[in-house]
């Protein structure tokens, strides 16, 4: 036996525990009322169904792990049956922390049957310095179904003096109606996020941004009202625009801080929807 072979090899570092969570919810029409049809949850992904006292049912997705980092994964799945109206939201803002082992992953899959109305209204995602996140939203709509979906992102917490100089963020949207792709969107920030978003062609220094899509068959006739609303809410700290594509409206927003973005989105969403947001937005 040689001296080298007598020295024990260093043991591999212990595998770190990773977040794994899957949550699935289904709604169906019963007696003219939208009712829960099916619910499954596992790992750190949970669903809560607060009382809505006669309004559309609300499914609240939550992550009991308290945040995500590299190697973590959450899968959310929801479907609205024919003629139903369901609202999906989250318990709180999702936090993506510094990653040492690849990206965190969040994948959301939604489906709405004929004449259903599905609203995807999660609260903001906060990205911290050296975070890595791959996020996707996939939606299948039947003829006559309507989708209202928002996703918002905040870079760090300004009140804590946080800047995000190293970030790997990828966001992917795919919306199909009757099997045909009607909206595809890709966003990517890889590098110094503060520097990248400082450019006039990106975010002009904004620290928070959001995309809102209203997929509806009469979208073309709503563009004037949408632009009037965005213009009415426009200010130095919250600004945006809206464009129309066949069968959908696309809103884009920028804000100086996460607080400014939330305030602007709350007012816009409530005025556009004609209803208050789920209670979790105010907790």
What's the pLDDT at 236? 84
Candidates 104, 123, 19; CA nearest to 63 is 19
Which is more confidently placed, 3 or 261?
Answer: 261
Task: Answer yes or no: is pLDDT of 137 > 90.
Answer: yes
Task: Sort 160 into a burial class: Cβ within 10 Å, 0-12 / 13-18 / 19+.
Answer: exposed
Q: Which two tokens stand for residue 147?
A: 């989708």
Bridge partners for 151 per DSSP: 211
C-alpha span between 242 and 219 (Å, rounded): 11
Task: Answer yes or no: is pLDDT of 86 > 90.
Answer: yes
What's the pLDDT at 42? 97
Candidates 148, 42, 25; CA nearest to 81 is 25
What's the pLDDT at 159? 62
Helices (H), 103-222: 193-196
Sorting pLDDT into bands at 50, 70 and 90, what band is 151?
A: very high
Which is more confidently placed, 253 or 54?
Answer: 253
Which is more confidently placed, 153 or 235?
Answer: 153
The pairing of strands 131-141 and 167-177 is parallel
Least-confidence region, from 63-72, 106-115, 151-160: 151-160
Task: Answer yes or no: is pLDDT of 264 > 80.
Answer: yes
Sorting pLDDT into bands at 50, 70 and 90, what band is 12?
A: low
Average pLDDT over residues 240-268: 96
Whole-structure pTM value: 0.92
Task: Answer yes or no: is pLDDT of 26 > 60.
Answer: yes
Domain boundaries, the chain: 36-282
Task: Answer yes or no: is pLDDT of 1 > 60.
Answer: no
What's the pLDDT at 202? 86
What's the pLDDT at 200? 85
Supply the mean pLDDT for the chain.
93
Task: Answer yes or no: is pLDDT of 17 > 80.
Answer: no
Give percent of the chain above pLDDT 90.
83
What's the pLDDT at 205? 85
C-alpha span between 135 and 172 (Å, rounded): 6
């Amino acid at each position: 036996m040689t001296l080298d072979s007598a020295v024990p090899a260093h043991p591999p570092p212990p595998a770190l525990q990773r977040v794994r969570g899957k949550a699935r919810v289904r709604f169906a029409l019963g007696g003219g009322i939208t009712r829960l049809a099916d619910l499954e949850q596992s790992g750190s992904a949970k669903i809560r169904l607060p009382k809505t006292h006669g309004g559309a049912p609300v499914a609240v997705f939550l992550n009991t792990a308290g945040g995500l980092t590299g190697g973590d994964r959450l899968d959310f799945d929801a479907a609205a049956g024919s003629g139903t109206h369901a609202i999906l939201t989250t318990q709180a803002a999702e936090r993506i922390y510094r990653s040492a082992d690849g990206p965190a992953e969040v994948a959301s899959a939604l489906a709405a049957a004929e004449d259903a109305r599905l609203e995807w209204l999660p609260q903001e995602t906060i990205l911290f310095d050296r975070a890595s996140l791959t996020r996707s939203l996939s939606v299948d709509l039947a003829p006559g179904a309507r989708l209202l979906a928002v996703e918002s992102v905040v870079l760090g917490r300004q009140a804590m003096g946080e800047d995000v100089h190293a970030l790997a963020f990828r966001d992917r949207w795919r919306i199909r109606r009757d099997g045909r792709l009607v909206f595809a969107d890709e966003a990517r920030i890889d590098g110094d996020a503060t520097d990248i978003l400082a450019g006039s062609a990106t975010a002009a220094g904004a620290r928070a941004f959001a995309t809102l899509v209203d997929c509806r068959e009469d979208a073309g006739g709503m563009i004037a009202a949408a632009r009037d609303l965005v213009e009415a809410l426009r200010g130095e700290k919250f600004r945006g625009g809206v464009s129309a594509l066949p069968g959908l409206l696309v809103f884009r927003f920028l804000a100086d801080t996460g607080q400014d973005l939330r305030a602007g989105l709350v007012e816009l969403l409530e005025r556009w929807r004609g209803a208050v947001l789920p209670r979790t937005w105010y907790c």
